Structure 1
């Protein structure tokens, strides 16, 4: 596999990871915080409705976790394609 082919495959896989992680974050922030808030508001955590919690705090926590997941995925991807200098 040439360097150009490796780079192309690397970026294709990278974009796939980004799209998947952004979809997860969208579903947590928009889905849980707005679309499904009425169903989630029947559950309470620490005295707050779960829909409210996701809209105010949960999406930020999930975003931070997704950053760490992305770093881990990219480290594996770098090793897979030999870009891990």
Structure 2
């Protein structure tokens, strides 16, 4: 399943841990936004890992993208080095 994940984390060290966790599952797309292609099992595992990292006031939003949604994605501008998607 394809997911778009956005996060708002205030503490720098927590934000780095969230970033590294998400990076292990998919591609960083923009500041605090990732796209992932995961199985249902991986999604549950990811949600558990993220929940264990977050402090009071931190937020993570997970959007499941259907095939029609992903077909409608438009990217404008150049992709920076190091931002190349590992999502197939």
Same fold (TM over 0.5): no
Q: RCO (CA 8 Å, sep 6+): is it higher in 1 or 2?
A: 2
The two structures have a TM-score, normalised by structure 2, of: 0.30
Q: Which has the larger radius of gyration?
A: 1
The two structures have a TM-score, normalised by structure 1, of: 0.30
